[in-house]
Amino acid sequence: MNRHNRDFIARLYIRQLAPGLFEYQVMFANEVIDSAAGFSSISDAIEAAADITGSVRGFEVSYDGLVVGTYPLKGLRATAQLVALRAIGTTAAFCDG
């Protein structure tokens, strides 16, 4: 997982599997370190991923293939809805443009 035994920022990939069905994968150095599926919203997936333990300090959040921001793990559960809205808005802006 963390080859250098230091805190790190992981990539949180969120993907919609079907309407109302989402999954996430947490990756670092091309390795999946956590994943889960079956969430009813992007924010639910973010909240669940924020429960990760270990050396993860935060996430570079990616939705639908686009990085939408980097967020500290501390407080991420409380801001999950705002991060989800930003993810949806960013993705829509790129798709419409």
Within 8 A by CB and 6+ apart from 62, the residues are: 11, 12, 13, 14, 68
pTM recorded for the entire structure: 0.89
pLDDT band at 2 (very low <50, low <70, confident <90, very high): very low
Cα-atom radius of gyration of the chain, to the nearest Å? 13
Fold classification of 8-89 (topology level): Nucleotidyltransferase; domain 5 (3.30.420)
Give residue 54's identity as a one-letter amino acid code: G
Q: Express each pLDDT in 32-76 by its tens digit.
A: 999 999 999 999 999 999 999 899 999 999 999 899 999 999 989
Domain ranges, ordered by start, for the chain:
8-89
